[in-house]
Structure 1
Amino acid sequence: MQTSPVVKVLAAWVLAILLIVACCSALVAAMNSRLYSPEHRVERYLGALQEGDGGQALGLLDAAVPEGVDPSLLDGDALRAASAPLEDIEVQDARDTGADRVEVPVSYQLDGAAQTTLFELEQTGTTWGVFDVWEFTRTTLPTLRISAPTLDMATVNGMDVGLGDGATDLASFYPAIVTAQVSGPYLTSPQQQAVVTGSGDTPAQLDLATTTTPELEQAVTDRVHAFLDSCAAQAVFQPTGCPFAYVTTEPVAADVVWTIEEYPSVTIMAEDGGWALAPLEGSARLETTFRDYFSGAETDISESIAYQFEADLTVTGNAVTVTPIVDD
């Protein structure tokens, strides 16, 4: 029995439709396993971190930024610097963790040590009814604290960050490397580093132990010299607010001239989270001429007067203040 032409045409159409359906199903499966996969969303997030695109990264991660924290690490060069040290980054296959939920491990190397960050995602629906929609499980960005007592600024991931009362809290994406140090003209500190691997990390704290620079010692020395020079410029026996004086009742026949014979040696010490100066000692020379009450004879005077005083020292960023403390 021969098949009619109409049946042949219908069979051809059915076969074509089945082939189209099979191709579409294969395409949807391929798209869901790649462009619409949880792994791809993680890759896009990591790419945003490496590009310093904090807006895109935050939108993909859908994480909350804690209130009252510094966002300096969440965009631009500071964000790029946070992911730059990570090497051999590999997004691994998603693992089922429950209904419509997976975790995607991301492995990487840091300073030769292997690290892994787990990202949790959930399927929240489909696009056009066929393409899976995966989103990160909502979380809150981790924070870390930078502390440098008495300072108002630190360098974090190459960026100057303000320190209120000597400390600040910063929000961070993850995985990330956060480095902090003080590199001012008067105070410096060794670089400290923290690794942020996930949202559940215990908040890290980078305490920056500062040390003084030769420039600070020179700045303090200059201010001490300027103070003493201003005292010496007062042509009186007891310069106001100064550590040296000369007591006499003899009448004067010439100007009173002070010169600083020996300037103090400056020693800066750490004290109570700040800085202090050791007692300052030196000598000044007084030169003048006395006239005798009765005979009128004149006598030249040149005496060395030892002095000692203390001074408060305040160092904040690029500012140095030396406040002499002189007993009345």
Structure 2
Amino acid sequence: MRRELVTWSIVFGLIVVAFVTTVLIVNATLFSASGFVRSYLGALSRHDMASALQIADIELAEDHGASSDDGSGATPIDTTGAGSMLLAGSHDLLRPSALSTIEDVALVSREINDDGSETVTFVFELDGETSHTTFTVERDGTRFGVFADWKFVTAPLTIVRLTVSNTQEFTANGSEFVTPAQDTPAPYVVLAPSSFEISHSSTFLTAEPITVAATEPGGTIRARLEPVANQTMVSQVQRQVNDYLDGCATQVVLLPTGCPFGQPMANRIVTTPEWSMASYPEVSLVPGSETGSWLMPETDAAAHLKVDVRSIFDGSVSSFDEDVDFTASYLVTFLPDDQLLITPQY
């Protein structure tokens, strides 16, 4: 009996030692501060938005169309671990399809702070670019009484205040979105680290893509996307302007009605005026003063006039066969079904 008791005591002791050793190893790895952050980054790399939000203890408030006081459509984001409202902004970009590609995650530094919190820095490839993020975490009790729990001191969230000019539509990492209002900064809450290629491409507008990288928690990033008239729009306006001016040239009067060119004369005309276009205005478009409008600034052009005239002084007849210079400006607005309304500005 005594020998069996000793044997069982040794076995039990070995089990206790093994258990304690396992707890120490697991707390130093999986349940360490760096292991906690690595789990969060792993969820982001898998595009597992639900797990990333759960690890970060972030709860998205239900969006019932409520907006902030500034009319930006901001929706509150709550960090339940902190028990307080942290950031307000649209969570439209918190969509798995809009998440970045995160690869080659590696811990580069770990520091224990005076208050017991830990600061860890990870390096990784964020959409193909080497980047890094620093997180500060603190103990948040234990799991099963032995494994350490952690939480972020500053939730891994960043505000992107995005302004989209001349339209409300944009794409982020290939997903389509609509801002509350064009030319007005709109706040979007994103997880850090994340990167977004923001662009616009539509029937008449295009924008050079911009990259917005949110790598540090708690900050605000300002970005602006500026779509401009694309070649399709410029070509269509050019055709319609040319057609309009060609119509003006069919009028057999010195001052064609509703047209930007004409030639007053003191002498009497003998033959019917013949107009033709010598050079059309080269269309270029800039944003207009009204939402959804585009302006062709005053642009040089020339029409050609041929007409015989009789002098009121001596009765002699001469030919007027010259180019008549003029400038033209047009306002362009969008109509349904990808049509354009072009209005002369003279």
What is the TM-score normalised by the length of structure 2? 0.66
Answer whether contact 1:180 1:206 (CA < 8 A) is retained: no
Aligned twin of 2:176 = 160
Correspondences of 1:101-112 after superposition (within 5 Å): 101-109=117-125
Answer whether contact 2:204 2:233 (CA < 8 A) is retained: yes
Question: Is 1:193 aligned to residue 211 of structure 2?
Answer: yes
Q: Matched residues in 2 for 1:63 and 1:18: separation? A: 42
Q: 2:225 aligned to 208, 229, 236, which one?
A: 208
| CA apart distance, 1:209 | 4.0
Aligned length: 291
| CA apart distance, 1:229 | 8.1
Work out the percentage of aligned pairs sharing the same amino acid: 23
Q: SS of the residue aligned with 1:200?
A: coil
Q: Matched residues in 2 for 1:30 and 1:101: separation? A: 19
Q: Matched residues in 1 for 2:345 and 2:115: separation? A: 76
Aligned twin of 1:176 = 194
Q: SS of the residue aligned with 1:19?
A: helix
Deviations 1:125-176 (A, max 9, x none): 1222222222222536211233332122222222222232234332211112
Q: Matched residues in 2 for 1:275 and 1:142: separation? A: 34
Question: Is 1:311 aligned to residue 330 of structure 2?
Answer: yes
| CA apart distance, 1:97 | 1.6
Q: SS of the residue aligned with 1:182?
A: strand
Q: Matched residues in 1 for 2:242 and 2:161: separation? A: 39
Q: Matched residues in 1 for 2:304 and 2:95: separation? A: 58
Deviations 1:104-138 (A, max 9, x none): 21113569975431112221112222222222225
Q: 2:51 aligned to 41, 56, 66, which one?
A: 56
What is the TM-score normalised by the length of structure 1? 0.70
Q: SS of the residue aligned with 1:217?
A: helix
Correspondences of 1:34-183 after superposition (within 5 Å): 34-63=29-58, 65=77, 69-79=89-99, 82=100, 84=101, 86-92=102-108, 94-109=110-125, 115-139=131-155, 141-163=157-179, 164-167=181-184, 168-183=186-201
Answer whether contact 2:294 2:332 (CA < 8 A) is retained: yes
Aligned twin of 2:83 = none
Q: Which has the higher contact order (CA 8 A, sep 6+)?
A: 1
Q: Matched residues in 1 for 2:335 and 2:216: separation? A: 34
Change (3 A) 1:68 1:175: closer
Q: 1:14 aligned to 9, 12, 32, which one?
A: 9
Q: What amino acid sits opposite 1:60 in the alignment?
A: I
Q: What amino acid sits opposite 1:73 in the alignment?
A: L
Aligned twin of 2:295 = 276
| CA apart distance, 1:39 | 2.2
Answer whether contact 2:138 2:153 (CA < 8 A) is retained: yes
Correspondences of 1:287-298 after superposition (within 5 Å): none
Q: SS of the residue aligned with 1:278?
A: strand
Q: CA RMSD in A?
A: 4.2
Q: Matched residues in 2 for 1:146 and 1:192: separation? A: 11
Greater fraction of residues in strand: 2
Q: Matched residues in 2 for 1:243 and 1:265: separation? A: 11
Q: 1:217 aligned to 234, 252, 256, which one?
A: 234
| CA apart distance, 1:23 | 1.7
| CA apart distance, 1:186 | 2.6
Q: Matched residues in 2 for 1:93 and 1:21: separation? A: 32
Answer whether contact 1:311 1:324 (CA < 8 A) is retained: yes
Answer whether contact 2:229 2:285 (CA < 8 A) is retained: no
Answer whether contact 2:206 2:228 (CA < 8 A) is retained: yes
- Note the residue ranges of structure 2 that are not aligned, 5 or more in a row: 60-76, 78-85, 263-273, 306-321
Aligned twin of 1:265 = 281
Change (3 A) 1:271 1:125: closer
Q: What amino acid sits opposite 1:23 in the alignment?
A: A
Aligned twin of 2:81 = none
Q: What amino acid sits opposite 1:133 in the alignment?
A: D
Q: What amino acid sits opposite 2:198 in the alignment?
A: A
Answer whether contact 2:166 2:226 (CA < 8 A) is retained: no
Q: Matched residues in 2 for 1:186 and 1:16: separation? A: 78
